[in-house]
Amino acid sequence: MTTSRRSRLREILTAYAFLLPSLVPLAVFTLYPLANSGYLSLVKWNLLSPTKQFVGAANYAAMPRDAVLHQVSTNTALYTVVVVLGGVLLGFVLALLLNRPMWLRALWRGIFFLPTVVPMAVLSAVWLWIYDPGFGLMNYALRWLGLPTSQWLHSATSALWAIILMMIWQTAGYNMVILLAGLQNVPEELYEAARLDGAGPPALLWRITVPMLSPTFLFLIIVSAIQAFRVFDPIFVMSLGTGGPANSTATLVFYLYRQAFMFFEVGYASAIAYLIVGIAVLFTLLQLWLGKRWVVYD
């Protein structure tokens, strides 16, 4: 009895000893900041002064009146919706094309996947050059095709769309890999049975492939959305650190960065941080709720 109790105590002590090296950093660099951000969102502070002025909910109350925040939120929403839908759709096309034995299949898959691996800062630099209005590849291609050219990143009407286009290219390969894995799990018998019933390729796609992949689609859309609405790297590099022209490419996270580390409005920036967490939580809840409602699980 005493030995088993002693061994039980040993087990508990071992467990905590094993957890300690990760618990301490998680407490210091994740849990404490989560709580501290909440506190900071209730103060006015410039990051430097020794005192913080408590302002209650004033930082949150200021949000609806902040015209730039409105613009930034609209930018972020537009960016998220188009990049997610475009990236998933293009990824699906790629997955369908590659979901068969094919000559050099690994090479094609590798090419589509390559943008996922290369550092975002590098891709942003390349596309900065591609979008150069005078000598960039994009306008050259458009002229070659006889289409009108654009100022791309130099115009407030096109800059965000330029970044969106690049990010659809960047995210498609990742979506392709996940959807390819999903396609492998669709039982071949389903297709055979449907073919015997006389179903053509469009019916097979809409009646079998898409419904069977619905959990994968839901997962991808939510994960990509959580990823996309926090975009920062390409915005920073491609707008040369400005979010411009005229805030047209500034997103929520970029705005947080600017408020905190350029304008030193730490309280307001922390409130924006909480807004971002709130949106992420909302996406996650949406995933759980939708997952129960309309997704077909086998």
Residue in 71, 194, 219, 245 binding other proteins, rule: CB under 8 A: 219
Residues numbered 27 to 66 that lie near other proteins (CB under 8 A) are 28-34, 36-37, 40, 47
Does 185 engage in binding with other proteins (CB under 8 A)? no
Does 21 engage in binding with other proteins (CB under 8 A)? yes
Q: How far apart are CA 39 and CA 52, in angstroms?
A: 11
Contacts by residues 166-169 (CB-CB < 8 Å, ≥ 24 positions apart)? 166/123, 166/124, 166/127, 166/234, 166/238, 167/79, 167/83, 167/87, 167/228, 167/231, 167/234, 168/82, 168/83, 168/86, 168/87, 168/90, 169/90, 169/115
Does 285 engage in binding with other proteins (CB under 8 A)? no
DSSP 137: H
Does 19 engage in binding with other proteins (CB under 8 A)? yes
CB of 135 to other proteins, least distance (A): 5
Does 264 engage in binding with other proteins (CB under 8 A)? no
Residue in 220, 221, 225, 250 binding other proteins, rule: CB under 8 A: 220
CB of 131 to other proteins, least distance (A): 11
What separation in angstroms does the CA of 187 have from each of 28, 191, 290? 47, 8, 24
Q: Which string of x and - marks every residue 92-131 that binds other proteins (by CB under 8 A)?
A: -xx--xx-x-xx--xxxxxxxxxxxxxxxxxx-xxxxxx-
User: Which residue shows structure tokens 């994968």?
Assistant: 216
User: Which residue shows structure tokens 């909480």?
Assistant: 274
Residue in 69, 160, 228, 273 binding other proteins, rule: CB under 8 A: 273
Does 263 engage in binding with other proteins (CB under 8 A)? no
